[in-house]
Amino acid sequence: MSDTYLELVNGPASAVAKKLGLPRPARLRRTDPTSVDAPLTPGPVLVLSDARATADADTVAQDLLAWDLDVRRDTHLGEHDRWGAVVVVLTGLDHPAALSGPALQLGSMLRRLATGGRVVTVSRSAPAPVPAPTADDATDPAVAAGRLAVDAFVRSLAKELRAGATANGLVLADGVAVGAASVRGGLRFLLSARSAFVDGQLLAVGTDGGAVPADWARPLVGTVAVVTGAARGIGAEVVRVLARDGAQVLGVDVPAAGESLTAVMNEVSGTALQLDITADDAAERILAAATSRYGHLDIVVHNAGITRDKLLANMTADRFEDLLAVNVDAPLRMNQTFAVPGTLGTTGAAPRIISLASFSGLAGNRGQTNYAAAKAGLIGMTRALAAPLAESGGTINAVAPGFIETDMTAKMPPLPRQMARWTSSLQQGGLPVDVAEAIAFLASPQAGGINGQVLRVCGQLVAGQ
Ligand code: NAD
């Protein structure tokens, strides 16, 4: 599963593609599994802020210094140097007009942004579209306008960046300090190669919860995770990345995929469990396997999924119902066990549940009424279970991949497949590892302040918000 076009335009066909004005996607800066010591950013990090956020910017700069980064507060750069990242702290915005200073300063730096560079904003949350009666987010119209201005500013900037650079933001609820574990964890994730295919996204940090790990390279040491649909594609990569980050992993897949499941789990010295997740007792069997082998279970990744694409006019009952059974009924039923306090995280690690939604579940997709409905259903489930999970010190989130190069998408006809790649800001499909990195971040202790959210890993696909 590779993108031949991307290889060609980064090789022999580079000049032709330029002449014809064809998309020229960059090779993305990804984690090098052979070198955990690779630098976090490909050059120095500039920290900018709005006029009222200098103290917060100082805090952020101190945190970045602790990671041995070359952190700068002034815009001077050596003649041949390039910025590895620009972090823009906008927690003081009280009016949209206050955005222009830092925005223009950032703009004047962009020509010197490195290949695979990063822009990350840190701002405060605006009122939700349907505010809860008790919501304490900014209600002053000018403050709310300033805060929401950051949202579309980041999304627009992401569409302008080139050479595999990305722009994303962290959006902090009022009361969450810029030094909170999940702000630091989120910043580190978004600056690093782990977020290669996350672009144009605003990630909400709702609480000060979570903890900075003892070892940033292995934040999951001591945890036990289960991944469904682990025999291939995204699930297999999730197994590898969770294991790399220190977790012990149980992989689940249907008996028909037993051989490849065993091969994947052997790679990480994990445990293979042949099981159809639509079985009534799936959660109990997973829990029994994890506790008998490892003594506990902390992280659940609901990854198994199927497609049964058809226009609704041609849809059959079995295609619609089979899809719902695997993609949403099974996670809903399993969570009746996993989300009960005292089930996950019994030896001290915080419970984590992460589901694989999809951009289709946010934007809708032709031929996928069944799939999109199921994936949106998972997002509803995630929101509903956020409060109960928080009560037991845990979180539940979803990841929404865009177009990812797997067996599932290899089934698409060539032209729509190429169009799906080109309609993202990064002009290419993602790799399973990109989704796996986002899941591993949400599973980590440093993501404990992020709950009930959907993180898109889509290269900023044009479809959906
Ligand atoms: P894939 O088809 O390559 O792998 C899915 C795995 O799930 C397979 O190993 C399959 O055997 C397993 N599985 C299916 N039904 C099962 C069941 N009843 N019980 C246990 N295991 C079962 O798919 P993928 O592309 O790796 O996708 C993984 C997840 O990501 C899915 O939920 C999918 O909907 C989602 N997703 C994928 C993309 C993409 O572009 N590939 C985009 C958005 C969302």
Instruction: Kindly state if the Cβ of 235 falls inside 6 Å of ligand 1.
Output: yes
Angle at 385 between CA 379 and CA 391, to 5 degrees: 150
Residue 181 above 90 pLDDT? yes
The least confident of 46-55, 101-110, 405-414 is 405-414
**Does 33 have pLDDT greater than 90?**
no
How many residues in the chain? 465
Residue 326 Cα to ligand 1 middle (Å): 10
Tell me what the mean pLDDT of segment 262-276 comes to.
98
CATH number for region 224-457: 3.40.50.720
Q: Which token pair is 147?
A: 């805060």
Apex CA 393: angle with CA 389 and CA 394, to 5°?
Answer: 50
Phi-psi region of 298 (alpha: psi -120 to 50; beta: other; left: phi over 0): alpha
Is the pLDDT assigned to residue 464 strictly greater than 80? no
Indicate whether 359 pLDDT > 60: yes
Q: If you measure from the C-alpha of residue 407 to the centroid of ligand 1, how many angstroms do you get, rounded to a whole number?
A: 9
Query: Please, which residues have CB within 8 angstroms of residue 266's CB and are 6 or more apart in sequence?
Result: none
Residue 1: the pLDDT is 61
Query: Residue 35: CA atoms inside 13 Å, Cβ hemisphere, count?
Result: 7
This prediction's pTM: 0.97
Residue percentage of the chain with pLDDT more than 70: 96
Q: Which of 209, 212, 207 is nearest to 189 (CA)?
A: 212
Number of the ligand 1 atom closest to the C-alpha atom of 371: 34
172 φ, ψ (degrees, to nearest 5): -95, 135
pLDDT above 80: residue 131: no
Task: Supply the pLDDT for residue 20.
Answer: 85
Q: For tokens 């404990």, what's the residue? A: 448
* Arithmetic mean of pLDDT over the chain: 94
**What single-letter DSSP state applies at residue 26?**
P
Output the residue whose Cα is nearest ligand 1's atom 6.
Answer: 229
Q: What DSSP letter does each residue of 202-220 carry, written as one string?
A: EEEE-SS-S---S-TT-TT
Ligand 1: distance of its center to the CA of 228 in Å?
Answer: 9
Give pLDDT, residue 139. 80
Please give, one letter per residue, the 3-state secondary structure of 284-310.
HHHHHHHHHHHCCCCEEEECCCCCCCC
Q: Identify the band that residue 385 occupies on the pLDDT scale cut at 50, 70 and 90.
A: very high
Q: Give the pLDDT mean for 202-219.
A: 96
Distance, CA of 422 to chain centre: 20
Distance in angstroms (rounded) separating the CA atoms of residues 429 and 406: 10
Is the Cβ atom of 232 under 6 angstroms away from ligand 1?
A: yes
CA gap 385, 343 in Å, rounded: 14
Confidence of residue 22 (pLDDT cuts 50, 70, 90): confident
User: Over pLDDT 90: what percentage of the chain?
Assistant: 85
pLDDT in tens, 282-313: 999 999 999 999 999 999 999 999 999 999 99
Ligand 1 in reach of 403 Cβ (< 6 A): yes
Which is more confident, 407 or 281? 281
ipTM of the complex: 0.99
The per-residue pLDDT for 5 is 82
What is the C-alpha separation between 161 and 111, in angstroms, rounded?
9
Residue 133 has pLDDT above 70, yes or no: no
Instruction: Locate CATH 3.40.50.720 in the chain.
Output: 36-205, 224-457
Confidence of residue 203 (pLDDT cuts 50, 70, 90): very high
For residue 132, pLDDT over 90 is answered with no
**Most ligand 1 atoms within 8 A of CB, residue of 198, 232, 234 to mutate:** 234
Catalytic center residues: 371
Q: Which of 15-19, 366-370, 392-396 has the lowest mean pLDDT?
A: 15-19
User: 3-state class of 117 per DSSP?
Assistant: strand
Fold of 36-205: Rossmann fold (3.40.50)
424 lines ligand 1 (CB under 6 A): no
In this predicted structure, the answer to whether residue 104 has a pLDDT above a threshold of 80 is yes
